[in-house]
Structure 1
Amino acid sequence: MTDIDPRVDPPMAADEAATLTAFLDYHRHTLALKCEGLTDDQLRLRSVPPSNLSLLGLVRHMAEVEWYWFQCILRGEEVEGGHYCTEADPDGDFDNVDTADVAADVATWRAEIEASRRAAAGLPLDTVGKRPRRGEEVTLRWILAHMVEEYARHNGHADLLRELVDGSTGE
């Protein structure tokens, strides 16, 4: 990992939307930082069996999560057609990394982040997604809070995976 931390700390005093967005961006950058400078094989390295966790799996999973919450739930796009997961292979994001195209998967994740930013841009936090989740309406506020939680949880996994790969530790 680089000695220079490219992340921007979330503001200490900002409105709710700016705060949620800044924390989400901070955590997005954290996952990228955890993957920085590694080879494809290092990104594919799994933690201890029987776990299927790898840094590449986390990147692929977060691409799915970004797509699902912002495109499917917020914008109302069809749920069918995720990047890695199917009904027959619901854990494809984590399971199928051994022969995955790492550069393409990272590019997909980054593209989904940009699509998520565009989907949420300028919307009030009370905006209700066009597709319900489990029969309930979901607001942009909830999606942003959930995404912060999702990244924060998986960045904890990424910390351990990165330490396994090359001993690097950090925030």
Structure 2
Amino acid sequence: MTWIAPAAPPFGGSLVADERTLLAGFLDWQRAVLVGKCTGLTGEQLALRACPPSTLSLLGLLRHVTDVEREWFHHRFRGTAVPWLYRRDDAKDAAFDEADPATAEADHAALLAQWQSSRLVVAAAQLDDAFDDPQRGPMSLRAVHLHLIQEYARHNGHADLLRQAIDGQTG
């Protein structure tokens, strides 16, 4: 049986909540939008590339943001040495370059599991908790949330174009 990407997990929340709830809610919304662009597609469709020489695909985006979440919430914010799932020192773009339809279901599941892990790793932290980012200097958890929101939003634009090229759907 061919795996088909399921609907995005439910998300929502108040638009008049406290800052922490709003940031987490907007991040969850952007997360769900990306996964929603994949709903109903097979692994083969998810792995379709945009246009040569680009290796951009919906599956590559799922894999990429899985590593992005690990990098920002675990590695940078918490200082935990977590391994990349896809990126390697010898292949920075492996999330895209090595996207394989045969692993689409596992890659999709890894992203959803990463979301939960990211939520848990910052659950007890305050938005003002900070770390020293080697490229940016001092950075707060608030800024990490904003960075991830913009990261997903940027890639959701890519995902719109990729999905439209597959079957004409946009969202």
TM-score of the pair, normalised by structure 2: 0.89
1:154 aligns with 2:152: no
Gaps of 5+ in 2: 1-6
Partner of 2:126: 124
Q: 1:152 to 1:78 in 2, by over 3 A?
A: same
- Equivalent residues in 2 for 1:83-94 (5 A)? 83-94=85-96
- Give the paired residue count: 165
The offset of 1:10, in angstroms, is: 5.2
SS at structure 2 position matched to 1:138:
strand
Gaps of 5+ in 1: none
Partner of 2:16: 13
SS at structure 2 position matched to 1:141:
helix
- The one-letter code sitting in structure 1 at the alignment partner of 2:153 is A
Partner of 2:3: none
Which has the larger share of strand?
Answer: 2
For residues 65 and 34 of structure 2, the distance between their equivalents in structure 1, rounded to whole angstroms, comes to 9
Partner of 2:44: 41
The offset of 1:136, in angstroms, is: 1.8
Q: 1:106 to 1:8 in 2, by over 3 A?
A: closer
- Equivalent residues in 2 for 1:1-171 (5 A)? 8-9=11-12, 11-78=14-81, 81-98=83-100, 101-129=103-131, 132-134=133-135, 136-170=137-171
Indicate the RMSD between aligned Cα atoms, in angstroms: 1.9
Q: 1:43 to 1:99 in 2, by over 3 A?
A: closer
The offset of 1:100, in angstroms, is: 5.1
Identity %: 44
SS at structure 1 position matched to 2:146:
helix
For residues 5 and 86 of structure 1, the distance between their equivalents in structure 2, rounded to whole angstroms, comes to 28
Q: 1:120 to 1:54 in 2, by over 3 A?
A: same
Once the two structures are overlaid, the 10-residue window that deviates more, 119-128 or 37-46, is: 119-128
Partner of 2:4: none
Q: 1:133 to 1:115 in 2, by over 3 A?
A: farther
The offset of 1:154, in angstroms, is: 0.2
